Amino acid sequence: MEKLLNELSSECQPAYGVECDVAKNAQVPENLKRSTPLGLPNIAENDLLRHFTNLSRKNYALSTVFYPLGSCTMKYNPLINERIARNDAFNNVHPYQPIETMQSVLEVMYELEKDLCEVAGMDNFSLQQAAGAHGEFAGLLVISKYFKSIKQKRRKIIVPDSAHGTNPASAHGTNPASAAFAGFEIVPLKSELDGSISLDKLKEVLTPEIATMMLTVPNTLGVFEKSITEISKLVHDNGSLLYYDGANLNAVMGIVRPGDMGFDVMHINLHKTFSTPHGGGGPGSGPIGVKSFLEPFLPVPRVEKKKDKYMLNYKKSKNIGKVKAFFGNFPVILKASAYVKALGGKGLKNVSEQAVLNANYMLAKFKDKVNVPAGNRCMHEFVLSPKTLFKNDVRTIDIAKRLLDYGYYAPTIYFPLIVDEAIMIEPTETESKETLDKFVNVVNKIILEESYQEPQKLKDAPINTPVRRLNEVDAARKPILKWD
Amino acid sequence: MDYTPQNQKDKKQMLESIGVGNIDELFKIIPNHLKAKDLNISGGKTEQELLNYFLNICSKNKKLISFRGAGIYDHFIPSLVGEIVGRSEFWTAYTPYQAEASQGTLQAVFEYQSLICALTGMDTSNASLYDGATAAAEAALLALRVNSKNRILISSGVHPEYIQTVKTYLENSKAKIEIIPLSDNGRLDKNTVDPLIDDNTAAVVIQSPNYFGVVEDMDALSSAIKSKNSLFVAIVNPLSLGVFKAPGEYNADIAVGEGQVLGSSMSAGGATFGFMAVKKSLEWKIPGRIVGQTTDKDGKRGFVLTLQSREQHIRREKATSNICTNASLNALSACVFLSGWGNVGFSNLAETNISKARYAFTKIKSLDGFKAKFENETFFNEFVIETSKNIKKINKILLKNNILGPLNLSNAGDDFKNCLLFCVTEQRTEAEIDRLVELLAKI
Amino acid sequence: MNIPQDLLYTKTHEWVKIEGNKVKVGITDFAQHEITDVVHVELPEVGRDVKKEQPAAVIESVKSAFDIYAPVSGKIIETNNKVLGSPELVNNSPYEEGYLFAIEFSNEKELGDLLKADDYKKLI
């Protein structure tokens, strides 16, 4: 067990210090002065280094294990991107520097925006948003503002399988949350067994109040929406817009573009498709792309190029405002740009082809043994439903925990909610055949052998991790959220 | 380079296992008329070419000596911070959903939460938000959820981009935002604020030190807010809390702020992180992830994401926020940063900022053509100077000398015409300050 | 499954006990079992007006949140604040110590829409 920082604290010389080379002059009036102790620990640098290094070793990370997390696109994070982003020439730029001294920053942003437009078939991108959900929120505000500008009152949006009442969900949880956040009322639409949309059901909910329909293509079951052309027509004939959740863009780069499918607004997670690291939960980046008629509504400032000079344009009369201070998560943008420049158009297409090949290969190895509700083909990810195989009270959570013992991070489980006991696997393109083979064998072994022969082993799992299963009920009932 | 490891032999075998002849068959479901043409993106760069490409781009950046702040600050980042956040076990990990395989991130976040609580004097911190501006917006939303009132009062001393962000976030809500003017001394006057707060005021949002560098009398402002049962949202610079009153001390309900000063680089304003800490009573209302301590099957201490039923992946449209990915790695920077000073060292860091800023302030205001805008007020590391000189010329000359001069405040309203916002952190040496003063004297 | 005969029920698994002009409300044994370990309860403010079949409280488990609906319209006149600090009471004593709130009902007729114990039993 690794001690907590407060338990490491002693009377020692702490790690950092500062010297003041001007006369000390820091008296402040009593009414403004802090009177309670700071309560910070006192720890020597050597001990701090050990503490945090030891903590890092308790993580399963992409750099140590295979991370087949469905819907999260945990692909290799190229080291060269990190090297580029750690350059002080970028890191020391202040956001309010004169424009002529920060051309490099604007150039990187401008270039990425252009490249994302090409990948997505959109006309403009805003890079200001700090994560996918943030992008969703901004994208929906753009839609809201657009309808206000043409004086239409549309306050509802369709989110397929948005977990309304007792309907289980296939859409990402951020979809309904972002929609509510942006002031929209949600209209649920129940999808078919493979997660696809029924045109008849869609017609029933397409009322004049619908502003947009949010779709993930391919959907969270890894299936491409075959009726996308018809859906697009129905939605647009209704005067509504079509919104693309880019969480699964890794399946279709260079193959089919959201803009060409008829989507008007979309967001991308750079920390999924464009290889920027997840950082244990951020920072991410959630660019939003729009067709040109929505460009005036994007957050400000916009990066523009006049002759050879890059500029920041704050003067967009219809803009939704700012969704964050300054310009966006620049280091993330920079890493994504490095990724795109490394791959180019051909490389990006190859990425999607390999991602889909890897997923289908794994699916092929599973399909005769474990139920795959969405069928024998998938895009970049697929969902297993081993429910019928379970005996001895074994559940998907036990499979996931047992996988940790074998040195794998667990796949996404119990999502999408429309599949019982779901196990959602996304291998990504950066894993070798050998890695996939080994993983499939382990999963099959756990489900088909261990769960019958040694069910207790699954219930007891994990045993090889720094801690064993944790009591989440106590954690929530009597929350301890900081040290004493 | 495309980072895919499969060779031709592997691919062939994989296609055979699937039972298709080529990769195109896997995309058969996509209608032909929708298929994309070749993407027009140049690429195929090797690692070396890539490095040179970006080195070439940033070679245009000059290294500047910064006297500019206004939300993003040039502070020293200890080597340990870079070493720890540079560990791939941290930066390539996912959000710690599988707790047993994520104890490193989880314990570090728990420690981060503890440190933020210690610093702010608040009861409960979340695991971080995107940045200071969005943290302020989330605080306003939290207040609106809690007390079902719909007026939000915001001090005009709040960073203008934060105010814009709050407005954007509340655009489609029923909330009404009103701005409280500062008095002539650059801070809020209790007598101006008091009558503005009514029974329908959900929250009063005040920043200290404010955008113009002035430290507000938060204690005095707090009592009026409390008497009307409104929530007090304090936006604070966490470094300043080494000297100045903490939000917990003046009874704030929600403390938020920009965390960049705690070990993140400026990076053109992002990626940074926002922090949020609240009173115990608001624990279940707070947005974002929270880590809690618990025990495992064997009774061993461990950490998990907790109070999750607040969050989007469970509560969906009724979640406290739509936030999912936040700024975990920057929060880790803050954790490493805050753990290495000790109480005395951290106060000393804050005091050094004050001493150096005062040193510069005293010298600059005594120059011909320069005077203090708020002569008798207390500031942390930023202050406003009014000048009769040409501001554009000042900054042009400074820039020529590799100095990023003060921020021109002429866009901040009529009161700030001919005003400059200077920032002096512990990074600036006596010699650099003297050089600045020397150049200003010549203008 | 414990389904007391002297209580009335809703299709959404609340139980109702009539006491003069008010009703006490909680969730059924079946519901607490389905929800699993209750970790948090959000109760309405006393004095709030509620409408029949509209959400009045929230019960949360580790991985889920459930709306609890007002079985009848009226005013919240009492809440069981004990469950705030000890949410496990909802699991351990759903009909007694783990009750949620009381409503002073505004329309007596609505009581007629509630289910008898036997009908509720058939439902689950």
- Reduce the DSSP state of residue A358 to 3 states and report it: helix
Q: Is residue A411 part of a domain?
A: no
Token representation of residue A480: 């301890």
Average the pLDDT over A296-302 and give the result: 97
In chain B, residues under CATH classification 3.40.640.10 are 79-338
Q: What is the pLDDT of residues B363-388, one digit of tens each?
A: 999 999 999 999 999 999 999 999 99
The residue with tokens 């729009």 is: A290
The structure's pTM equals 0.96
Q: What is the pLDDT of residues A113-142, one digit of tens each?
A: 999 999 999 999 999 999 999 999 999 999
Task: Tell me which of A303, A322, A344 is where a domain ends.
Answer: A344
Average the pLDDT over B333-344 and give the result: 98
Token representation of residue C31: 């519901």
- Inform me whether the pLDDT recorded for B176 exceeds 70: yes
- Give me the half-sphere count of Cα atoms (radius 13 Å) on the Cβ side of residue C2: 11
pLDDT in the model for residue A160 = 86
Q: Which chains touch C (3 or more CB pairs under 8 A)?
A: A, B
Nearest to B140 by CA among B165, B161, B119, B115: B165
B120 alpha-carbon distance from chain centroid: 15
Q: Give the count of Cβ contacts less than 8 A between chain A and C.
A: 14
Instruction: State the total domains in chain C.
Output: 1
User: What is the nearest CA distance from B361 to chain A, expressed in angstroms?
Assistant: 12
Average the pLDDT over B142-159 and give the result: 94
Token representation of residue C106: 């505004």
pLDDT in the model for residue A170 = 58
Q: Are B12 and A439 in contact (CB under 8 A)?
A: no
Q: Would you mind telling me the total number of residues written for chain C in this entry? A: 124
Average the pLDDT over B325-339 and give the result: 96
pLDDT in the model for residue A166 = 38
Q: What is the pLDDT of residues B37-81, one digit of tens each?
A: 999 999 889 999 999 999 999 998 889 999 999 999 999 999 999
Rounded Cα–Cα distance for residues B426 and B357 (Å): 9
The residue with tokens 């990948």 is: A119
Q: Is residue C17 part of a domain?
A: yes
Q: Is residue A380 part of a domain?
A: no
- Inform me whether the pLDDT recorded for B405 exceeds 80: yes
Pick the CATH number of B65-75+342-442 from 3.40.50.720, 3.40.50.12780, 3.90.1150.10, 3.20.20.150: 3.90.1150.10
DSSP of A53-81, one letter per residue?
HHHHTTB--TTTS---BTTT------HHH
Q: Which of A414, A472, A477 sits opposite C88 (nearest CB)?
A: A477
Interface contact C40-B309, CB threshold 8 A = yes
Under DSSP, the state recorded for B296 is B
Mean model confidence pLDDT for chain B: 96
Rounded Cα–Cα distance for residues B319 and B308 (Å): 10
- Reduce the DSSP state of residue A397 to 3 states and report it: helix
Q: Phi then psi for B221, rounded to 5 degrees?
A: -70, -30
Q: What percent of chain A has pLDDT over 90?
A: 87
Q: What Rg, from alpha-carbon coordinates, does chain C have? A: 13
Token representation of residue B268: 């053109």
Average the pLDDT over A437-461 and give the result: 96
- Reduce the DSSP state of residue A159 to 3 states and report it: strand
My answer on whether A286 and A202 are in the same domain is yes
Average the pLDDT over A319-342 and give the result: 97
Q: Is residue C121 part of a domain?
A: no
Interface contact A476-C39, CB threshold 8 A = yes
Rounded Cα–Cα distance for residues B95 and A284 (Å): 11
pLDDT in the model for residue A164 = 37
- Reduce the DSSP state of residue A370 to 3 states and report it: coil
Q: Which of B24, B54, B321 to mutate to test the interface with A (most CBs of A within 10 A)?
A: B54
- Inform me whether the pLDDT recorded for A46 exceeds 50: yes
Average the pLDDT over A465-481 and give the result: 96
Q: Which chains touch B (3 or more CB pairs under 8 A)?
A: A, C
**Is C58 within 8 Å of chain A by CB?**
no
- CATH number for the domain spanning A263: value is 3.40.640.10
C60 contact residues in B (CB cutoff 8 A): 309
- Give me the half-sphere count of Cα atoms (radius 13 Å) on the Cβ side of residue A88: 7
- b or e along C9-33 (b: 16 or more beta carbons within 10 Å of the residue's beta carbon)? bbebbbbbbbeeebbbbbbbbbbbe
Q: Is residue C98 part of a domain?
A: yes
Burial class of A209 by CB neighbour count within 10 A (0 to 12, 13 to 18, 19+): middle
The pLDDT-based confidence of A405 (bands split at 50, 70, 90) is: very high
pLDDT in the model for residue A162 = 56
Q: Are B166 and B174 in contact (CB under 8 A)?
A: no
Partner A, chain B 348-377, Cβ-Cβ below 8 Å:
348-352, 354-356, 358-359
Distances (CA, A) of B354 to A27, A250, A251, B360, B374: 9, 50, 53, 10, 16
User: What is the nearest CA distance from B55 to chain A, expressed in angstroms?
Assistant: 8
- H helices present in B125-204, as ranges: 132-147, 160-170, 190-196
- Inform me whether the pLDDT recorded for B311 exceeds 90: no
Q: Is residue A216 part of a domain?
A: yes
Return the ∠ at Cα A349 (arms to A347 and A354), rounded to 5°: 90
Task: Tell me which of A291, A319, A344 is where a domain ends.
Answer: A344
Distances (CA, A) of A396 to A404, C60, C88: 13, 22, 26
Is B79-338 a CATH 3.40.50.720 domain? Answer: no
Rounded Cα–Cα distance for residues A477 and A475 (Å): 6
Q: Is residue C114 part of a domain?
A: no
Check residues A28 and A388 and name the one with the higher pLDDT.
Answer: A28
Q: Is residue C3 part of a domain?
A: no
Rounded Cα–Cα distance for residues B89 and B83 (Å): 12
- Inform me whether the pLDDT recorded for B276 exceeds 70: yes
Q: What is the pLDDT of residues A155-211, one digit of tens each?
A: 999 988 754 333 445 567 788 888 888 889 999 898 887 888 999 999 999 999 999
Amino acid at A261: M
My answer on whether A241 and A283 are in the same domain is yes
Distances (CA, A) of A447 to A67, A410, A415, A417, B359: 19, 14, 18, 20, 70
Q: Is residue A67 part of a domain?
A: no
Token representation of residue B13: 């075998």
Average the pLDDT over A390-402 and give the result: 93
Mean model confidence pLDDT for chain A: 94
My answer on whether A188 and A91 are in the same domain is yes
Token representation of residue B31: 């209608």
pLDDT in the model for residue A167 = 42
Rounded Cα–Cα distance for residues B145 and A142 (Å): 24
A472 contact residues in C (CB cutoff 8 A): 62
For residue C42, give the chain B residue with the closest CA. B284
- CATH number for the domain spanning C42: value is 2.40.50.100
User: What is the nearest CA distance from A462 to chain C, expressed in angstroms?
Assistant: 20
Which domain, by its residues, includes A36?
5-56
My answer on whether A131 and A236 are in the same domain is yes
C39 contact residues in A (CB cutoff 8 A): 473, 476-477
**Is A481 within 8 Å of chain C by CB?**
no
Write the ipTM.
0.97
Rounded Cα–Cα distance for residues A444 and A400 (Å): 12
Residues of chain C with pLDDT under 70: none
Average the pLDDT over B23-44 and give the result: 95
